[in-house]
Every structure is written in structure tokens, then in C-alpha cells.
Chains A and B, each alone.
Chain A
Amino acid sequence: MSLVQVTDDKVLKKDLSLFAVGDTVKVHVLIKEGDKERVQIFQGDVIGKKGRGMSETFTVRKVSFGIGVERIFPRQSPWIKKVEVVRSGRVRRAKLYYLRGLKGKAAKLRENR
């Protein structure tokens, strides 16, 4: 085992709930306003995951008041308190970038049962 793995293993969050591309998730993000801290929830579909280990990131897309909003989260960031899976979608692709060109019902993901 590489020694990089040894250092990474000490800090890797293993208890993060598992989620896959296509899932609708609630990301609990720590927001700092001045010296106050609060947790904000960003809910949307996971449209891609990138990297592994300490540098893994995932992209969450939601449509807010008709405007598409995407946020890229570093999975190991201490600002991310929790990732909740709301529903898991059935998808056949690793990256769901095609959702950007769709709107309304066409942009809905079928639920995985």
C-alpha cells in the first residue's frame, strides 16, 4: 500500500452515505456568515462524480425558479456535513450532462425500484 494511502486513510470520511449518479440528494453544507455558522441544504440530482479518494468531487444540479443551478462539492470537504439520498434514479450514463438541454418533464429521472 502506498504511503499516500496511509495518510489519506486517517482523514477519509468512510461513513458518508453512499449515493450514485442519478440520485436526488440533499447536501448539508456548512455556511459561514461573519462569525455565525449554519447548515444550508442544497437539493438536486447528482449528474456526475469525478476523481477518487481525497480529491473526489460530485456535481449536483437543480432547477431554481426556472434557472438551472449546478454546484460542485468536494466530497471530503469538512463543510459537507451530510449527504442524504432522497430518491435514487435509474440512469444509463455516468455523466448526465444531457439534462442541461432538457426542461420540465423531459428532465425528470425515472426512479429506481
Chain B
Amino acid sequence: MRDGLIGKKIGMTQGYDAAGNAIPLTVIQAGPCTVVQRKTAKRDGYEALQLALIEDRPAKKPTKAQQGHYLKSGAPVMKILREIRIEGETPLKEGDQIFVDVFQAGEKVAVTGTSKGKGFAGVVKRHHFAGGGGSHGSMFHRAPGSIGASSYPSRVIKGLRMGGRMGNDRVTVRNLIVFEADKANNILVVKGPVPGPNGAYVLIRKA
């Protein structure tokens, strides 16, 4: 079974590894999570666990439908629900809690989140085009250049890389190393950055 947890990105800091080298760290408030629904291949077509992140404040004014959905787990209605796919058997059932101790220091995890929105970005930023010179009479700066031939094919081919909305995508960063898993404070510290701004919700799974 692949363990997973919902977390909230708190911010970044710095730490030192065993050799004394400075390393970048991201602090995530991870869990605790409650299993709200156990999806089975027989009934739902696939095997999964639906988790809710337990936060200080439950959802305001939950609808009757939401209340009913949470009934089996006995948990208050929360704001964030995420699903993790599982393979084979799992002892977890509705109402069970998952804590940050499913991860251990040194383990590799994958963190999924929504990246920061960059707005309408040009090709240099969005697709790493080289761009032109800034001065010395260069009249080509950050434009995309030619986007195709003329009379044949008389159209722009599909999928051509151009400027447009960038960021705000679902991004998964894989093989991040767990630096620390602190169950008392529900804190997971991983080496390196994770997608999204501080305060963003992320899904953490074993890589």
C-alpha cells in the first residue's frame, strides 16, 4: 500500500545535513487525516482512500450532503478532501486517522500541489526560448520568432509553443527526501521546494 497524507505548505527554511552542508528545507503541516471514504473496485471501479485534512476549523455551514458523506467516518466536515489510489489490501477503513509518522526521515516522497500562477507569460519565460540580444542594434528581444511557413501549410501547426497562461497547474515533485517527521507537531520537513505559495494545500505520497 502506498501511504499518503494531505498537508499545508508553511514555508521554507535552511538546515544542515550530516556532513555539515547547508540544505534548503520546506516545512509542511502534514495531517492528521481521516479516512472519509474507502473506494473499492467492486463498487466504485477502483481502489482508493478518500482523506480529509483535519484542521482547527471545520467547514462553515456544511450542506446536508456533506454531512452525510462524513457520517461514516464520524469526523466533522472539513474543507479539504483528496484521494489516494491504493493497490491490494489495506487495514484502513472509514474513520481511521493517518499521522505524519507514516513517513520516516531519509525516505523519498512525491509532493503534488498547484504551482504559483504566473499570468500571461512570454515564450522566454514559459518555454525557455533563448531570446535575442538586448542592445548593439539587435532588433530581436523576447519575441517568439517565426511560427511557421507561408503558403504551405498556410496555418500554424497545432501544439506550437507560444506565449500564454503559465503556472496554476497541478505539479508533482518526485523523490524529495524527508528530513524530519515530527508527530508531536504534525510537521513534515522535506529537502527542496514544493509547488505553490505558502499556505497552499499539497498531497504527499510515498515516491
Interface residues of chain A, those whose CB is within 8 Å of chain B, are: 2-4, 6-8, 11, 30, 53-55, 74, 76-79
Of A53, A74, A78, A79, which one neighbours B13 at CB under 8 angstroms? A53
Of A6, A30, A55, A79, which one neighbours B14 at CB under 8 angstroms? A55
C-alpha spacing A103/B182, complex, angstroms: 52
Dominant SS at the A interface? helix
Interface residues of chain B, those whose CB is within 8 Å of chain A, are: 10-16, 20, 22, 25, 27, 29, 180, 182, 185, 187, 189
Q: Is the CB of B22 within 8 A of A4?
A: no
Q: Is the CB of A11 within 8 A of B15?
A: yes
Q: How far is the CB of A22 from chain B (nearest CB, A)?
A: 26
Of A3, A54, A55, A74, which one neighbours B29 at CB under 8 angstroms? A3
Q: Is the CB of B27 within 8 A of A7?
A: yes
Q: Is the CB of B189 within 8 A of A78?
A: no
Q: Is the CB of B20 within 8 A of A77?
A: yes
Q: How far is the CB of A25 from chain B (nearest CB, A)?
A: 20
Contacts of B189 in A (CB 8 A): 7
Q: How far is the CB of A41 from chain B (nearest CB, A)?
A: 18
Knowing A2-B10, A53-B13, A55-B14, the reply to whether A7 touches B20 (Cβ < 8 A) is: no
Of B10, B13, B20, B185, which one neighbours A54 at CB under 8 angstroms? B13
C-alpha spacing A79/B22, complex, angstroms: 11
Q: Is the CB of B16 within 8 A of A7?
A: no
